[in-house]
Structure 1
Amino acid sequence: MSKRKWMASLGMVSIVMASVVSGCGTKTTPTSTTPATTAPTAAQKAQEPVKLKFAMWEAQGDIDFWTEKVKEYTKLKPNVSVEVIKVPDNKGQYLKVNLAANDLPDVFYMKPAALQVYKQALQPLDDLPITKDNTFAAKIDGKTLGLPLISFYEVVYYHPSVFKELGLEIPKTMPEFIALCEKIKADGKYVPLSLGMKDSWTSYPFMEFGPHVLSGDEGFLTNLPKNEAPFTANSSFDKAAKFLQEISTKKLAGPDPLSISFDQQTQAFEAKKAAMTALGQWYYPDYIKKVNSEDDLGAFIMPWRSTESEPLTAMTMSDMNIGISKNSKNLGESKAFLQWIFSQPVYGAYLSTSKQMSTMSTVKSDNAFFVKEAQKAQFKPFVYNGIDEMYNKVKAAAQYDPSMIAQDIFAGKSIDKLEADLNNKWKKAIDSSK
């Protein structure tokens, strides 16, 4: 991944599909939120110096972009300097230490689920003009606490040259995907699917998103705590687990994906040692940066369905929620800085650089590669919602971690045993959360 809301599904589907079907380039519409670019006034120069901390996880493209971009902000406001801070992980442990010490950065990235963790320490953003323009603005208890920077959907990247060489076609169902991998493995030249299971999070397209999409219910995670035994035979969780188990037992992700890191996963794909890899749109700029070409790159939607009569859906989510610490010593400047981040010229430049999908109704970013690939198969966005309070509370109490479950599956553990243990923990977690 992210590397892993929101508003009503209809509105979200509209904004995602608008991004997919529109033409290329970055388009903007007029808004009053664009900051002035005139020279700083004498009053501005005379203001007391302010230093803001802007924290984000280890997404090198973002770190590089914002490290340079914030220099422009200082030119606009000479008394304000912004320090870009790299957060060691994206699961929130580093920031939780800061939260406990009441020392959060002024402005910082959060994963969707982290909004529940930090909600008491976050400044509501409803008064900012940009909030009404953010289609995926994240509300908790009726207050907007995070403005997501990007939206994206999940795909399987592949090398068209390999498909042509081996006479392969894009799979339309889960059984066809397995059969495709088996044909590639039988040829012996390429690893069918590159997976870096040493870094457990790389399994998120399968065990985090798979059960959700297979359920057909965008409110799946919200409804999960209402079921005391959701991990049963023939459940969407069970179907996703057995799909991943088949990939494991048939060695369709190589002989030992548990020994492969995420970096090795992408390196194998980029070197064309692997035919496919499953990641989000966020991976595209990384691939281009390393390979310098998209000539041998294709993408298709993971076919989470048993038959073609079922709808083809793509897991779609917003990410990189940016929030402000309510205890910031420079709250007004933090708000002004966030307003600047989502202004047309700045946010438009970010989208053009990152090749991500926009979350703002005022700034449309269209990636020609995904427009072209989307034309090959009609699909519907399936919106991910992971910020429900009860779900996150029960998930934490049950120590439910889909990525760790995926590692257990690749380690050969029984799915029946895993499900029994999960149901036992899940029921106890629900009881303790009432």
Structure 2
Amino acid sequence: MFRYLLWVVVLCLPLDVLSVTLTMETWRVDDQDLWQKTLSPILHQTLPEVDIQLNPVKTSDYDATLRQRLDNNAAGDLIICRPYDQSLALFQAGHLVDLTEFPGMENFPRFAKSAWQTDTGAATFCLPIASVIQGFFYNVDIFKQLQLQPPTTREEFFAVLERIRQDGRYLPLALAAHDNWVVSELGFLNIGPAYWKGEDGRLALIHGERPFNSAPFVAALDELRQWKPYIGPEPEQRTEAQTVKDFAEGKAAIIVAGSWSIPQFTGKVNFAAFHPPVGKRGDACYFVDHTDMGIGINSASPHKEAAWRLLEWMSSDEFAEAFSNAVPGFFSLSNHFFELQNPVAQQMMSWRDECDSTIRLGAQFLSRGEPAFNAQLNQLSQAVVLGTRTPEEVADQIQQALASWYGPQARAN
């Protein structure tokens, strides 16, 4: 009888008395204020009993640290998920709850869900949250001063760079050539989709229908080679921090950029964005809209029910709008319609209506073996832009390495 009365009392308690704090593993080290000041107050209108505590790890250490915590049963209730292979490995190891039947998944398009599904698409293990978009930022005041327009074709792009170089007052193109991931991700993978036609070329590479040393990939590397006269003296010494500083202080006219950098420049410089130029007027445009962030539930969490309810809220239109406006440059992957307050973020999101989008070339399948495609692409893209290797040499080396372990390319050879 006493046990029955105790349960009656518990069930009659207000929800905020039965509160639970969910711990979230994340590489977003600056997001605690975002949750406390912006997202949690909105969340509490729906789930007043749920609080969020972040357990952040810097991005370079996140994968190894997270796996160690999961293996030691010391990880939080929620896992911010990398796309594709890293999170797939966690699911296959039994660390992530199967979300295949999660009702909120209906709010996300197939391409968004595919980043957190098994290879066959039979199981889904993370809820899509956000993508990031890649392109170019330009200094609006410098462009006005030099009477320049944002370029839409490659010919216009190089004409703009040359005009800025001849003027002599500004760095034409800020590129962190010291940091090879920047050259690869924001250089080669930024301009490349216009050459290999986005998803068509990416899937052709995955299926072994086209080798990496074929014309479109070599041509993209060759354009990267042509950037060298415009990225400043001693480019091998120019770090990401330096290029961000140069653009923020108005010393550089254009910077290769990802949308995640929008907050770094907002309020410091008058800037806007343009998408990667096309070959000639009338050509279809392409850009990288990369599935960057999902969220999963730790299968060892003692609070799975509360975590499930949180994910239901995170699949809503309310969260999509709140998150995308609170973190300019991270775009909800949901089908919900919403407006963005940041003008540069809104401009970049509008490319979805103008151009075809794709994801980064090596995100899926191609970096599972050794030598990993992404690691090679980082190193060798840098060699091309610094002029120490030719585009043809680099393309041949990457193709040979890929064919050495990746079945579809081995068979294509």
**Alignment TM-score > 0.5, same fold:** yes
Distance of 1:181 and 1:63 partners within structure 2: 40
SS at match of 2:338: strand
Equivalent residue, structure 1, for 2:34: 65
Instruction: Note the C-alpha offset of 1:325.
Output: 2.1
TM-score, normalised by the number of residues in structure 2: 0.80
Unaligned runs of 5+ in 1: 1-39
Q: Does 1:277 align with 2:251?
A: no
Summarize the Cα distance change of 1:110–1:260 in structure 2 as closer, same or farther, 3 Å threshold.
Answer: farther
Equivalent residue, structure 1, for 2:165: 185
Q: Does 1:150 align with 2:125?
A: no
Instruction: Note the C-alpha offset of 1:51.
Output: 4.2
Distance of 1:41 and 1:359 partners within structure 2: 38
Query: Is contact 2:188-2:220 (8 Å) kept?
Result: yes
| Number of residue-to-residue matches in the alignment | 385
Equivalent residue, structure 2, for 1:242: 222
Query: Is contact 2:204-2:210 (8 Å) kept?
Result: no
Match of 1:423 among 381, 384, 399: 399
Match of 1:365 among 327, 335, 339: 339
Instruction: Note the C-alpha offset of 1:318.
Output: 2.9
Equivalent residue, structure 1, for 2:3: none
Distance of 2:302 and 2:208 partners within structure 1: 44
Counterparts of 1:32-71 in structure 2, within 5 Å, are: 42=13, 44=15, 47=18, 50-58=20-28, 60=30, 62-69=31-38
Query: Is contact 1:315-1:382 (8 Å) kept?
Result: yes
**Percent identity between the two aligned chains:** 20
Task: Report the AA paired with residue 35 of structure 2.
Answer: W
Match of 1:232 among 213, 228, 243: 213
Instruction: Note the C-alpha offset of 1:195.
Output: 1.6
Instruction: Note the C-alpha offset of 1:394.
Output: 4.4
Summarize the Cα distance change of 1:59–1:380 in structure 2 as closer, same or farther, 3 Å threshold.
Answer: farther
Q: Does 1:333 align with 2:306?
A: yes
Query: Is contact 2:39-2:322 (8 Å) kept?
Result: no
Distance of 1:418 and 1:358 partners within structure 2: 36
Task: Report the AA paired with residue 92 of structure 1.
Answer: D
Q: Does 1:301 align with 2:275?
A: yes
Match of 1:260 among 219, 233, 238: 238
Aligned-residue Cα RMSD (Å) equals 3.4
TM-score, normalised by the number of residues in structure 1: 0.76
Distance of 2:233 and 2:189 partners within structure 1: 23
Task: Report the AA paired with residue 417 of structure 1.
Answer: E
| Deviation digits for residues 396-425 of structure 1 (CA, Å, limit 9, x no counterpart) | 655644332222224433133322322221
Summarize the Cα distance change of 1:263–1:142 in structure 2 as closer, same or farther, 3 Å threshold.
Answer: same
Equivalent residue, structure 1, for 2:55: 85
SS at match of 1:403: helix
Match of 1:348 among 315, 321, 329: 321
Q: For CA contacts below 8 A with separation 6 or more, give which structure has more relative contact order.
A: 1
Instruction: Note the C-alpha offset of 1:272.
Output: 0.5
| Deviation digits for residues 360-386 of structure 1 (CA, Å, limit 9, x no counterpart) | 234523346255688899831323276
Query: Is contact 1:314-1:379 (8 Å) kept?
Result: no
Distance of 2:363 and 2:196 partners within structure 1: 17
Equivalent residue, structure 1, for 2:285: 312
Counterparts of 1:401-416 in structure 2, within 5 Å, are: 401-415=376-390, 416=392
Distance of 2:365 and 2:347 partners within structure 1: 40
SS at match of 1:145: coil
Equivalent residue, structure 2, for 1:3: none
Distance of 2:343 and 2:192 partners within structure 1: 28
